[in-house]
A and B are shown apart, each in its own frame.
Chain A
Amino acid sequence: MFADIRTQINVIAALTIRELQNLMKGYNYGFAWALLEPLMFIGIMRVARSAFKGLTPPNMQPSTFLILGIVPFYMYIQAVGAVYKSISSSDNLLKFPRVTPVDLAIASALCDFCIYFALFILFIVFFSIYEGAWPPQNPLAVVAAFIALWMLGMGLGFVVGTAARVFPPLKQFVSYYNLANRMMGGMLFVITMFPSSFWPYFTWNPVLHCMEMLRDGWFVTYTSPVASPAYVMEWILGLWLLGLSLERFQRRVPYV
């Protein structure tokens, strides 16, 4: 069994390295776009927040606050999309008898994790030192929340990817979900910015818990009243169990 696990790890490592190499294909915009997209968004939000003062929590440095929300959220969206794509469609790499759709999905999501984690470290270290929000209160909690968000994205990707094999229009719903999550997932706010009577409308969402955990872990000045690592773990376990079971169940369903 351990030999099989080692083989699978090697397969995933080989596929991930290949994915990372392909980001640079032809020195086109693959890697540059991964860097520029969140950077542009952070810039736009930073300008907007300067213009409309009061939208940023007063006890948190604005750029650090935005980076803690935007970069992990982009990674989450990318992880959902990468796993969704690998599971819902066929790939030439499946011609290798030792490569399975699950390997492709994990490798693809791991590639996104590597890119966004590197971006996250780069941006957050620079801006938090610049704004005086360095060092983080609990770096391990921040990394754990980042990984939890990635796992959550993969779990959701497995579920919607397998569902899309029998119901392809689901792709459109994933786009709507992502749009809704951009507004409700805590990317640009913390829960204390709303009256406590509104909290139940937000706290069902595990992405919001991860965002709260990130801000709680970074800022000495903020303690989240709602962040629950156990709730996030339950979602991760539930989504992975459901997603992998569906994937196993649907292997006989032809690709559309």
Chain B
Amino acid sequence: MSIELRNVTKKVRMGHIKLTYTGLDLAIPDGARVALLGRKEAGLDAIVNLICAADAPDKGTITRTQSISWPIPGAGFLSKHLTLAANARFIARLYETNEEAFLARVAETGRFGDLINARMDECPTEMRSLFCFLIGALLPFDHYIFTGLNAGPKEDRGRIAELVGELAQRAGIVLVGQDAKNAEVLCDRAYVFNEGTATYYDDMEAAIEHFSSIEAREVDEDDFMGADPELEDLVNMDF
């Protein structure tokens, strides 16, 4: 088993989201393609934090036996005062990969051209989101955690889908969020999160039927970014 949450209890307190997961069991086997489906109020960010070891459970145990990516295309850790190249080098150093080779691969795959030497805050939003996606997707992990697949300019979405398809052939995929459409294509099992419970399905149709039956609460006007984790990540960028 690659990632396993056993009898986990976690209080989720994120803005207006207040709920408690009790006795949560979740198993992601080696190479599995799993969707974690839930509306925004299901507190999936907290579950992702537990999987990535960014947070600890209140009770219970979590075991990880393989390498796991960070939530892609997360951008909160990137420095907007540095260039795309400097940020890519940071990731390469962190993951002990050849800096030059990694930078060249990111630049080539994203077709960034001279933009690779531009500061993050001077870069167009869609290219920034593509960059955030690629720096994670181009590193060799055993499991990739995706919180969104709509990165980059619209004309590049096909290439992104191809890249994710390739990753799914050789590694495990955990797709987190409300993207039932992509989950149906990419994943072969799912957990549906709602009101502090997680229901397991090995049939994607049944999982999506359950997920669709959960009504999304009205999103506050102030919380207009809530529906799009990619946009939220970019706005929350550090520094």
Task: List residues of A whose CB falls within 8 A of some B CB.
Answer: 7, 10-11, 13-15, 17-18, 21-22, 24-26, 90, 92-100, 251-252, 254
Contact = CB atoms under 8 A, between A and B. Distances in A.
Chain A contact residues: over half helix, strand or loop, or mixed?
helix
B76 A252 contact: no
Interface string B10-45: 010100000000000000000000000000000000
A252 B90 contact: no
A7 B71 CA distance: 21
Interface residues of B, number: 32
A90 B56 CA distance: 12
Interface stretch (B79-87, B157-165, B207-215, B224-232): B79-87
Contact of B58 (A15, A21, A252): A252
B52 interface: yes
B93 A13 contact: yes
Contacts of B130: none
Interface of B: 11, 13, 49, 52-59, 64, 67-71, 74, 76-77, 79, 81-82, 86, 90, 93-96, 236, 238-239
A10 B91 CA distance: 11
Contacts of B71: 95
Across the A-B interface, give the 6 residue pairs with the lowest CB-CB distance, nearest first.
Answer: A25-B81, A92-B76, A14-B93, A14-B94, A94-B54, A92-B77
B11 A254 contact: yes
Contacts of B86: 21
B239 A25 contact: yes
B238 A17 contact: no
Nearest to B51: A97
20 contacts: A7-B96, A14-B94, A15-B94, A21-B86, A22-B81, A24-B81, A25-B81, A25-B239, A90-B55, A92-B74, A92-B76, A92-B77, A95-B52, A95-B77, A96-B77, A96-B94, A97-B52, A97-B68, A99-B94, A252-B57
A22 B239 contact: yes
A90 B86 CA distance: 24
B59 to A, nearest CB: 8
Contact of B81 (A14, A15, A26, A252): A26
A251 B52 contact: no
Given A10-B96, A15-B94, A100-B53, 13 more contacts: A10-B94, A14-B90, A18-B79, A24-B81, A25-B82, A25-B239, A26-B81, A90-B55, A92-B76, A94-B55, A95-B74, A252-B57, A254-B55
B99 to A, nearest CB: 10
Contacts of A251: 56
B54 A17 contact: no
B14 to A, nearest CB: 11
Nearest to B52: A97
A13 B94 CA distance: 8
Contact of A95 (B57, B76, B82, B239): B76
B57 A21 contact: no
